[in-house]
Amino acid sequence: MTDMTTLDKRLTVEEIAGRLKNGMTIGIGGWATRRKPMALVRAIARSNLKDLTIVSYGGPDVGILAAAGKIRKLIFAFVSLDHYPLEPHFRNARQAGALQILELDEGMLHWGLRAAAMRMPFLPTRIGIGTDLLKQPELSNRVTSPFADGEEFVALPALKLDAALLHVHRSDARGNVLTLSPDPFFDELFARAADATYVTAEKIVPTAELNLPANARYNLVERALITGVAEQKFGAHPTSAAPDYQLDLKHLKIYTESAASPEAWAAYRASFVDVPSAAYLAAAGGEEAVSTLPKPFY
């Protein structure tokens, strides 16, 4: 008989950060300001981790890790706060030459994750042909169709991840996860491309609460792909985790202003990064304020 206690994958945010290693390639799920695992990002910023390669459709996850000096290399399609088109801490780091860069377009990043998810070394694509993206050494390889057309394609390398970090709405202790947003984007591919996938969940519930017919379409990936799960209410704030809560535009303004100077960043970090989750939530306005944020316009 299987020992059911071995299926308990619950960890704390700090324990997840403690399982990561210097130099890892880490994929961060979500999309710009939607469903970013920000509690995990802040835990990494507080840690001694360094020399990370980050793969992301980036938002404040990239910005905070760049400002904290954690990123050696960034693989990205964009780094945006949506209402603030260019993430300011990313801008500072990029302009200072502080990051090694592999810049892709959205489709290329998708295709690289899909190649890794399929355990393929690359996938052929027409994306990027005729652009300066292909001047980057990582994108210099070509493959020729073996069929009569003989067309030449870009050989898009697989974006293999050591770890993926995701935020979901519900999970049980075994790692069955539900993403209730209408826009799961590429979180499934991040999980399939990674050797280990760690998630934060708004709420960990009994399995029976997940096993409803209406929930089948919200199941992100099979639980075998989930290595660990931490219950972290408001774990995506200040990004959104709709329908549970919306994007916090007021906080994003405060965050954006923190990129104005090293002193401004130090003040933001002291209030919102180098603090326990309860203190973070209190500084962000409290549970009621976050729970009732209005739906933003895009």
Tally of CB atoms within 10 A around 96: 9
Helix locations, 150-226, DSSP H: 187-192, 207-210
Q: Is 236 exposed, middle or buried (0-12, 13-18, 19+ CB in 10 A)?
A: buried
Tally of CB atoms within 10 A around 222: 12
Q: CA dihedral in degrees (254, 259, 261, 263; nearest 10)?
A: 50
Q: What is the pLDDT along the chain (298 residues), one digit of tens a residue?
A: 444 456 899 999 999 999 999 999 999 999 999 999 999 999 999 999 999 999 999 999 999 999 999 999 999 999 999 999 999 999 999 999 999 999 999 999 999 999 999 999 999 999 999 999 999 999 999 999 999 999 999 999 999 999 999 999 999 999 999 999 988 999 999 999 999 999 999 999 999 999 888 898 999 999 999 999 999 999 999 999 999 999 999 999 999 999 999 999 999 999 999 999 999 999 999 999 999 999 998 8
Domain ranges of the chain: 4-106+159-291, 124-157
Class of domain 4-106+159-291: alpha beta
Q: What is the pTM (predicted TM-score) of this model?
A: 0.96
Nearest-CA neighbor of 235 among 161, 165, 163? 165
Nearest-CA neighbor of 69 among 36, 100, 98? 98
98: CB partners within 8 A, 6+ apart: 66, 69, 71
Cα separation of 137 and 140, whole Å? Answer: 5
